[in-house]
Amino acid sequence: MIHETAAAWVGRRDAGLDAAAGAEFRAWLAADPRHRAVFAEYDSTWAVLDRPLRGGVAEDVLDELQSLDRRQRRRRVLSGTVATAMLLAGISLWTSSGERRGSANQEFTATAKVLLPDHRTLSDGTLVELKEGAEIIPDFGAGHRRVALRRGDAYFQVAKDTTRPFVVEANGIEFRAVGTAFAVRLGSEAVEVIVTEGRVAVENTAIAAGLAGTSSVTVKQPPEMLLTAGEQAVIRPGSIGVKAQVIAQNELSERLAWRAPRLEFTGTPLSEVVALLNQYASAWQGGDRFLIEDSAIAQVRVSGLFRADKTEVLLDLLDSGFGIKAERRGASEIVLRRASMPR
């Protein structure tokens, strides 16, 4: 509970505290030495996050924080919700008149941005999603379909063509498919592949060439590895074998989280936030739709960055920071209302 409260106080402090809220904040800090220590941790994190948001590099920081959050959850340092909540880089509450609470009138521009991976359709109909910074070089011909991944992460939904197997090459590793879906990551220390549909054959052509030497005989890595949906492999330079590993669904979601849209808000009314949630997040949240049934909160202005597949982060902070509750109604509706609003 201390972590949740500290995170909420950081957001409220950033939005501006009036005299009463300031006194309440100081009393909370004084009530327990742990309060001040935990608040300091969140305050320093907030400062680091705020700069990337304003400087346009929030996406890189978000990816790094996702990795940090997974390590923290494994060590059980923070609760999963609060650790993930820090990805938001803050939510600020504004009055409907556009004034920051507890401060003088000030100008601001409300914006909402949707950050998406680069989507491409190759000449054969294959769909490719590229994480920011990724680079591919397609080479298609009458009898072949090859794509060289030069850097970064790519996700392929391969168009079926049994006469031309689809091959992705990354640092001497080849991944061959006919009609399937898989992700490849070219890292500094290894090449990683995750199969989400169908099967993918993995071959280390660099090792095979070394084994063959100058012979004209083609030597494959023995044996050629077949990965099926829900499996992954990590291939490091010089490795002879490839070991398939089953990947848990929650880890799969985290590893491919870069594919989910990022929603970035600056002073955006909650009504517009909900509209974008329904447009982009529903597909990643099982078709849930968000509704506002309390007109008093429609103009609450939100600032922050979060993933479309992690809407619970926004909902948790709206609840802990501002008393806006999210309640499920039926199978696919989530209603937002003030905690004290009668049903």
pTM score: 0.64
d(CA 343, CA 326): 13
Highest mean pLDDT (candidates 30-34, 102-106, 165-169): 165-169
d(CA 59, CA 64): 9
**What pLDDT digit, counting tens, does each position of 84-140 carry?**
344 443 444 443 333 333 333 334 466 888 888 999 999 999 999 999 899 999 999
- Adjacent-strand bridge partners of 182: 156, 195
On the question of a common fold for 2-115+261-338 and 118-255, the answer reads no
Q: What pLDDT is stored for residue 167 in this prediction? A: 96
CATH classification code of 2-115+261-338: 3.55.50.30
What is the layout of strands, in order, in the sheet containing 333-338? 289-292, 333-338, 324-329
Tokens, residue 282: 């529903």
Residue extents of the structural domains in the chain:
2-115+261-338, 118-255
d(CA 177, CA 191): 17
- Fold classification of 118-255 is Jelly Rolls (2.60.120)
More confident residue, 238 or 56: 238
